Structure 1
Amino acid sequence: MNADPAGSIRKRILVLLLIAGLALQVGVVLLVQTPGYMDAEYYFAGGQQLYRGDGFWEPFLWNYLDDPAGLPHISHTYWMPLPSLIAAGGMFLQGNDGFNAARSLFIPLAALVPLVTALIAWRLGLNTRQGTLAGVLALFSGFYLPYAALPESFSLYMLLGGGFFLTAFPVSGSLAQQPVRAAALGLIAGLMHLSRADGLLWGLGAAAVIILDALASQPAGRWKKVLAGVLLAGAGYALVMGAWYGRNLSFYGQVMPPGGSKTIYLTDYNQTFVYPADSLTLETWLQTSWREHLSDRLQALQSNLMTLLGVQSLVVLLPLMSLGGWRLRKQRMVWVGLLAWLATVLVMTLVFPYSGARGGFFHSGSALQPLLWALAPAGLEELIALGARKRGWKPGQAGTVFGIGLAVLCALISGMLFSARVWGASGEDWNLTWRVHQQVGRQLAAYGAQETDIVMVNNPPGFHAATGYPAVVIPDGNEDTLAEVADRYDVQYLVLDRNAVSGLKDLYENPRDVPGFHYLGTFAESHYFLSTGWGGNE
C-alpha cells in the first residue's frame, strides 16, 4: 500500500508536465528556424567560436564600450557566457555547429520550467491541483514561448530563479541549519550571474536571505550562523564566478570589464554604440537636464510596468497573482520574491533605463516567472472562496472549471502571441532578418568581397552568424565617425540600411561618395559602400 498517495500523484504529474514540455518545445523548434534577433545570434555565434576551438574570442564588434583594439575581440564583455557555453555543449554532442545543435540542450531546459513552477507552488503549500495548474501556466508561457528553447538566457534564468527559491526556503528547518543549502544557494547565484550581468543582484540576494533566515531562526549564536552561511554561499558563488573574474583581471586588470559600467552614463539608447566610448562620463551625463533624466526614467518605468502587465502576467493573470501574493503574504518566499522584483525594476528603471525598457527587464524578470505563475492558482482559490461565500459556489467544482478555463485561455493567448511574433503580418517575420543577412552577404560577394573582409553593419553578431564575415557595428555618429572607425578597424565595406542612426539619415536618403567611402550601389533598400581610407575617395 502506498503510504503517500499525494506524493505519488505529484510525481506522475511532474512526468506528464515534462513530457508535455518536451513535446511543446520540439514543436516550437520546428517552427522557429533561426535565432531571430541579436541576443540569440550573439550567444549562437559565441557557441560556434567555442566549438571551433577559438575560445572566448569573437570576430565582430557590436559596441565600442571597452575601446577594443581590433578583431578578433575578447568575447562576452557585455553579455555573460553561460548561454554560449551551453550552446557549445549542444554542438559538441551533435557534432556540428548548426543552429539546431546550439539549442539542443535548451529544449530540455525549457521543458523543466513547468516542473520547477509546480514544485514552487507545492512548496508554498498549494494543493496538488493548484500546483498542476501553475505548471500548466508555465507550459503555456505567453510571450516567452518562442524564446524558451533558443540559445539565450530565458530558460536558464527561469530554472535558476526557481531553483533559488526552492533552495532558499526548504520544506523544514532553517537555511542557517543546512550549510549544504547555503553553499548551493551561492552556487545558483553564481550561475545566474554567469547567465546575465544583473545576476549579481541574486548573489547579493543570497547573502541577504541567509542573514535574514539566521536572524529569524537562530536566537543563540546567530552571528556565527550568519557568518558561516554567508561564507558558504560565497564559496559556492566563487566556485562558479572565480574563473571568470580571473579572466577579466588578466585582460583588464579589474574583475568587471570596463565597458559595461559606461552604460550607466547613457542619455540615449543609441549611445550604446557611440565611438569613442570615452565620451560616456559622469560629466557628460550631468550636462543633460534633470528633466530629461526624469522623463527617460518615467518612460522606462512605464515600459517595465507594461512588461509586468502584458508579459509577466498576460493581463488576465495579474489580478490572480496579486490575490495569491496577498493570500500567501506571510510566507517569506513571497515577500522575498516581491523584494527581488522591486530591486530588478529599480535597477532597470533608474540605473539602466534604456536597456531595461528595450528588453532588459523582459530578460531579467524571467527569473521570477516561476514564482509569479505559482501565485496565480492561489489567487484563483481566493477568488473561488469569495464566490463560495457570496454566490454559493461549490469550491471543488468551481476550482476544476475555472482552472481548466484559465489554462485554456492562457494556451490560446500564447498561441496567438506566438503566431504574431513568429510569422507576423507578412507570414515570415521571425526569419526575415536572417535571410536579409544572407542576402547582404551574397551581394557583397558580388561586389568582390572576400570572406576575410571586415564589414560595417547594424548587427554584427547576426551578420557574422549568418554569413561568416567579420563585422563591426555602425557607430552612433556622422560620416566622419564612420570614416574614423573604418580606418581604425580596417573596414573594407559598409552596408547602410533604413535603420541608420540620425547622423547618417542624410547619407541613407542620398547615397553618394563621401570621404572614406565609395558608393557601390543599392540593393533591396540597403546601400553598399567600399571603404577607401580616411584620406578621401579613391
Structure 2
Amino acid sequence: MSLRNRKLFYGGFFLVALLLVTVGGGMQKAPGYMDAEYYYAMSVRLAEGKGMTQPFLWNYLDDPPSLIAPSHTFWMPLTSLVAVPGFWVFRSFTGARLIFWLLFALVPPLTVWFGYRFHGDWELAVTGGALALFPVFYGVYLPVTDSFALYMLLGMAFFVMTGWPAGKIEMQAAGLGVVTGLMYMTRPDGLLWLVIALCWLGWKVWNESEQRGKSLLAVGVLCILGFLFVGSFWFARNLMVFHRLLPPGSGRALWLTRYEDLFLYPAQDLTFARWLSGGWGRIGSGIWQAVVTNFQTAVAVQGSIALFPFIGVGMATCWKRSVVKVGLLLWAGIFLMFSLVFPYQGVNGSFFHAGAGVQPFLWVMATVGIQKTVMVVSGWRHWQRGHQVQVFLEVLLVLVCVFLTAGLFLQKIHGGKTGIPWGGGTEAYSQIEMALERLGISPCEPVMVNNPPGYYLATGRAAVVIPFGDETTVRAVSERYGVKYLILDQNNSGHLPDLYFHPGISRGFKFLMRFGDARIYEILP
C-alpha cells in the first residue's frame, strides 16, 4: 500500500476514534468516580488561578495541618494540567475533556503505525488499530478526565524508543528519560518504567559498546537528566511545600493491611510494625487475593477476554525481538508491583490504571498471535485457505471487542448491578446540598462525606473524608479540622453501624434527617 493510502487510513482511524469518544463522552455529564472527579476539580482550580491547593481531604496520609491543603500528594499532576487549557477556554466539563478526546483519537492510528513498524504487515496493523478503537473495559473511562489515553500514548512512545535505530543510543537514552518523566508525572508507577529503561539501556550498552564503563555512565546520566527535565518542577514544588522530594505520606501507603487503611486517621499509625503485627497469614492472604484479582484483570481487561491467548502466542513468536522482552518485563513488573508491594491498591484499580501503558503493545502482540495461530493450525489441518481463515478470525475478534465495549459502556452508564447511573453520585450530592441549605447550614461549613472531591465538585463546599475507624475517630477528625456535619451513606455503614442503622442513639451526634440512603448528622462539641 502506498504511503498516501496509509496516511488516509491513519486519518480515518483518527476520525472514527474521535467520533466514538465524542459520542461516548456526550453520554457522560459528570466525571463519574473519584479519580476523574479529583483531576477535574484540580484542573478547575488551576484554571481559576487558585494553584495546587485543594479545599478537601480525601485521605490523611500526609497528615495535612488544615482543610485547605497542597494538592496532588497521592495522585500525580499531569492529568489535571492537561485538562486546564480546555476548561480555561470553554469553562465546562466537556471543555476540560476535549484534549483527552483528542489524545484517545490518536491511539488507534498510532497503534496501526506502531504495529506496521513492528511487523511490516499492513493487514495486521489495521486489525490492531481496530482493536484499539474498541478497548472493552477501558472504553467507558476514556472520555472522562483520567489518565488512560495519556498513559497509552506515553507507553507507546516508550516502546517505539526502545526500537530506536542502532547508533542512536544517546538520543534513545534522553528520549526514554523524557517519556518516563512524563509517565511519572502521570502516575507514580512511572518510576518502574524509568527503572526498566535504565536496565534496558544498560543491557544494550553492555552487549554493543566497546567502552562499556564509559557508555554505561553516559546513557544512565542522559536518561536520568531527561527524567529530571520533566520532573524537576515537581520535586522543586515538593521541596518548597514539604521540604522533601516526595509528599510526606508517600511511604505510608506501603503499610496498608486493607484498602480502607488509605482513610485511616491518624495516618501515623500506618507503620511497618503495625503491618507486621497482622501476621504472615494475613499478609499472604492479601497478596494472594491481589495475585488472583490482578491475573483476572490481565485476562479480562488487558487481554480483552478473547485476545489473551493470542497475546501469549504473539510474544512467543517474536520473543527474539528485544522490544517484546521489554514489554513482557514491564507487564510482569506492573503485575508484581501491584500484587506484592501494593496489593490492596492493585485490587482496587491501580493495576487496571497502570496496565494502560502496555495496552497498545498488547494489541500488536495479539494480532501477531492471531496470524501465527492460524498458520500453525492451517499446517496441521492442511487448510488451503489459511489467509481467509485468518481474516475471518480477525473480523470475529474485532466484533467481539465491539460488542463487549458497547455492552460494558452501556452497563456502566445505566448503573449495572448498583442501579446508580453514571454521574448519579454527583446528582445525589447536589440534592443533599439543597437539603443542607433547607436546614440552614451555611455554605461555609465543611462536611464529612464518603467522597470529598465529588462533593466539592458537585456543590463547591469544602469536605473531608469519613475516616476509617469508630465514632471516636470521627469526632477526632471533626475537632481537628473544624467539621460539624456528617453525611453518612451505605458506603460507610460497615464501620459506623449505629450511626447508619440506628440514627439518634449515638451520643455526641445529633441526627438531623435522612435523605435517600444518607443520614445527616451534626457532630456536637
Q: Check whether TM > 0.5.
A: yes
Shift of 1:148: 1.0
The 2-side partners of 1:289 and 1:221 are apart by 50
- Deviates most, 118-127 or 238-247: 118-127
Pairing partner for 1:43 from 23, 32, 39: 39
**Quick one: which amino acid aligns to residue 61 of structure 2?**
L
The 1-side partners of 2:198 and 2:117 are apart by 21
- Indicate the residue corresponding to 2:470 in structure 1: 478
Question: Does structure 1 conserve the Cα–Cα contact (< 8 Å) formed by 2:498 and 2:506?
Answer: no
Shift of 1:180: 2.5
Q: Normalising by the residue count of structure 1, what TM-score does the alignment of the two structures yield?
A: 0.94
Shift of 1:116: 2.5
Give the direction of change, closer, same or farther, for the CA distance of 1:155–1:309 in structure 2 (3 Å limit): same
The 2-side partners of 1:116 and 1:186 are apart by 21
- Indicate the residue corresponding to 2:301 in structure 1: 311
Report 1:124-523 matches (<5 A).
124-170=118-164, 172-174=165-167, 177-218=168-209, 220-391=210-381, 392-425=383-416, 429-500=421-492, 502-512=494-504, 514-523=506-515
Question: Does structure 2 conserve the Cα–Cα contact (< 8 Å) formed by 1:124 and 1:331?
Answer: no
Shift of 1:91: 1.0
SS in 2 for 1:409: helix
**Quick one: which amino acid aligns to residue 353 of structure 1?**
P
The 2-side partners of 1:476 and 1:501 are apart by 11
The 2-side partners of 1:258 and 1:126 are apart by 48
- Deviates most, 178-187 or 44-53: 178-187
**Quick one: which amino acid aligns to residue 75 of structure 2?**
W
Deviation readout 1:477-531 (Å, 9 max, x if unpaired)? 1111111111110112110111115331121111116444321111112111123
Question: Does structure 2 conserve the Cα–Cα contact (< 8 Å) formed by 1:483 and 1:515?
Answer: no
Considering only aligned residues, what root-mean-square deviation do their CA atoms show, in Å? 1.5
The 1-side partners of 2:442 and 2:2 are apart by 65
Q: After the TM superposition, which parts of structure 1 deviate over 6 Å for at least 4 consecutive aligned residues?
A: none
- Indicate the residue corresponding to 1:121 in structure 2: 115
SS in 1 for 2:513: strand
SS in 2 for 1:197: coil
Deviation readout 1:288-344 (Å, 9 max, x if unpaired)? 110110011000110100001111112210111111111111111111111111111
The 2-side partners of 1:7 and 1:211 are apart by 36
Question: Does structure 2 conserve the Cα–Cα contact (< 8 Å) formed by 1:384 and 1:399?
Answer: yes
1:92 aligns with 2:88: yes
Shift of 1:427: 7.1
Question: Does structure 1 conserve the Cα–Cα contact (< 8 Å) formed by 2:314 and 2:368?
Answer: yes
Question: Does structure 2 conserve the Cα–Cα contact (< 8 Å) formed by 1:498 and 1:526?
Answer: yes
Shift of 1:7: 3.4
The 2-side partners of 1:453 and 1:102 are apart by 28
SS in 1 for 2:390: helix
Unaligned runs of 5+ in 1: 534-538
Unaligned runs of 5+ in 2: none
**Quick one: which amino acid aligns to residue 294 of structure 2?**
N
Question: Does structure 2 conserve the Cα–Cα contact (< 8 Å) formed by 1:477 and 1:501?
Answer: no
Deviation readout 1:206-245 (Å, 9 max, x if unpaired)? 2112112212222x12332222222111111111111101
SS in 2 for 1:105: helix
The 1-side partners of 2:128 and 2:277 are apart by 49
The 1-side partners of 2:501 and 2:170 are apart by 64
Q: Normalising by the residue count of structure 2, what TM-score does the alignment of the two structures yield?
A: 0.97
The 2-side partners of 1:109 and 1:88 are apart by 14
Aligned residues: 523
The 1-side partners of 2:443 and 2:499 are apart by 26
- Indicate the residue corresponding to 2:73 in structure 1: 77
Deviation readout 1:85-134 (Å, 9 max, x if unpaired)? 1111211232x1x2111111100001111123222212321400101100
